[in-house]
Amino acid sequence: PSSPSSSTKKHHNQKHKPPKPHQSLIHAIKSKNWPDAHYILTTSPPETINAVDNFQDTALHYACRRRAPIDFVKCLLAAASETLLECRDNSGCVPLHEAVLYACDDVTLLILRSCPRAAEVVNHVGRTPVEWARDRNRSREVISILELASRIDEYRADSQKALLEGRNDAAISSYTKLIEFDNTNAANYFQRSAAYLWQGDAARALEDIDDCLALEPHFAAAIVRKGSIMHRLLRYDDGIVVLEEGLNQFPTNPDLQNNLTNLKHAKHLHDTAETRRKNAMESLRRDAEIASERHEREMCDLRHENDMILEERDAETSLEIQKLRFYLEALEDNARMMNDVAAQKVDVGDISDIDWNGGGDPSSSSVAKGEIYKLRNLLENLIARTEDVKTRTEEINKKQVAEMERQLLNMGTMVDALHEENVQLSKSVSGLTFRLREEEVKVDKIKKILTWGGTQ
């Protein structure tokens, strides 16, 4: 038998004998010893992490089967090569097959977004990860993303082709599918913002570029585009702030410098046009006020003249009516007196001296009454004519007031139309400036391509 010292030394040497790295990583994962697995993962070389065992299983296969924490899977994907995601075991399954069968949704989506092509891999029994997900009743989100992944290369090709050909609606649709598949890819938001911008929807383009910069804050091209979008939206001050902050990050970027210069120039033109528009509006307002005051004075003069004419007519009519009333009263008094005299003589029986052919004739009383009736009709007609004149005068006044209000309303409409026309002109100037900048950028790109081709 060996001595105790030699036995302890032998046991000590066996305990600290370094195992094969890939076997230690797979063994730690199989035993769910995540701290040791993480330590081995961070201290092992890439070839060890990408190694396979006798069943052609990788560490990622076992991580999916043992439902490894998502943080460990992220570290494993970051340390492994891309071929690890497409490595098949003896049954023809890639790690995505195992994730669909065993792992949680987050791990499954993480592996799927790292290698979309794996969604189309068929194992030895003729099944793809998509079909297994349907058979196992995985969540609708996982199934939907798997279905998208099976066509992801098609969407990428279609989106780029549509964007280059100017088919903005098709490009937006394809990039939307790519964003649904992976909403952490800043490039997809960046490209879709270009399609929205060329389509004329600057508001949605701004939303996409904000999402892009939230994912990639140091994306210089996205900062340049945000400045261009601010230019399109006429938000000059905000655009200048964005571009100046971008220049703080990238002081030598020529696109940022040029865009900032163009934006400041556009702001100057816009401010000048806005000042002219305000001055023109103020001038129009003053002219409208002067015209309104002049019209009001004319209307007041017309009303005053009308009132004077009416007063004169009223005075003449009143005088004529008064004369007729006096004459009518005199006739009535005369007739009454004659009737009284005749009645007295008849009562005493002295009717010999009554002049029946003159004022004493009984028929003369009816004649006087007829004349009084005519005079009364004449008086009533004069009063009716006077009331009619007053009514017509009031109608004329109302029509004149309505006409004045209509003219004032038309002048207000003209002022609003001129204001809207000035706003449209300002937008047109800004749009032309933006298009001119786009054309200059295209020409610069063509020059660079031609220059590069010449150097080759």
SS3 201: coil
How close are the terminal C-alpha atoms of the chain, in Å? Answer: 79
Candidate from 19-33, 159-173, 361-375 with smallest mean pLDDT: 361-375
pLDDT given at position 455:
40
Provide, rounded to the nearest whole percent, the portion of the chain with pLDDT above 70.
81
C-alpha 350/C-alpha 370 separation (Å) is 28
Q: What are 307-359's pLDDT values in tens digits?
A: 787 777 777 777 777 777 777 777 777 767 776 776 676 666 655 555 544 44
Confidence label for 11 from pLDDT (cuts 50, 70 and 90): very low
Task: Give the C-alpha distances (Å, rounded to integers) separating 206 from 20, 129, 171, 210, 212.
Answer: 53, 37, 17, 6, 10
Task: Tell me the HSE value of 20 on the side-chain side, using a 13 A CA sphere.
Answer: 9
The contacts of residue 23 (CB under 8 Å, 6+ apart) are 53
Q: Is the pLDDT of residue 110 over 90?
A: no
Confidence label for 17 from pLDDT (cuts 50, 70 and 90): very low
Q: Is the pLDDT of residue 66 over 80?
A: yes
Candidate from 166-175, 209-218, 283-292, 309-318 with smallest mean pLDDT: 309-318
C-alpha 359/C-alpha 267 separation (Å) is 104
Q: What are 202-234's pLDDT values in tens digits?
A: 999 999 999 999 999 999 999 999 999 999 898
What does the DSSP assignment read for 223-259?
A: HHHHHHHHHHTT-HHHHHHHHHHHHHH-TT-HHHHHH
Q: Is the pLDDT of residue 375 over 70?
A: no
Q: What are 238-261's pLDDT values in tens digits?
A: 999 999 999 999 999 999 999 899
pLDDT given at position 283:
86
β-bridge mates for residue 52, sequence order: 58
pLDDT given at position 20:
46
Length of the chain: 456
Confidence label for 421 from pLDDT (cuts 50, 70 and 90): confident
pLDDT given at position 44:
82
Q: Is the pLDDT of residue 295 over 70?
A: yes
Q: Is the pLDDT of residue 79 over 80?
A: yes
Q: Is the pLDDT of residue 271 over 70?
A: yes
Mean predicted confidence (pLDDT) in 20-28: 67
C-alpha 118/C-alpha 129 separation (Å) is 8
Q: Is the pLDDT of residue 446 over 90?
A: no
Chain mean pLDDT for the chain: 79
C-alpha 146/C-alpha 118 separation (Å) is 9
C-alpha 130/C-alpha 427 separation (Å) is 50
Query: What phi and psi, each to the nearest 5 degrees, are found at residue 58?
Result: -100, 175
pLDDT given at position 350:
59
β-bridge mates for residue 389, sequence order: none
Candidate from 146-155, 251-260, 377-386 with smallest mean pLDDT: 377-386
Q: Is the pLDDT of residue 100 over 60?
A: yes
pLDDT given at position 187:
92
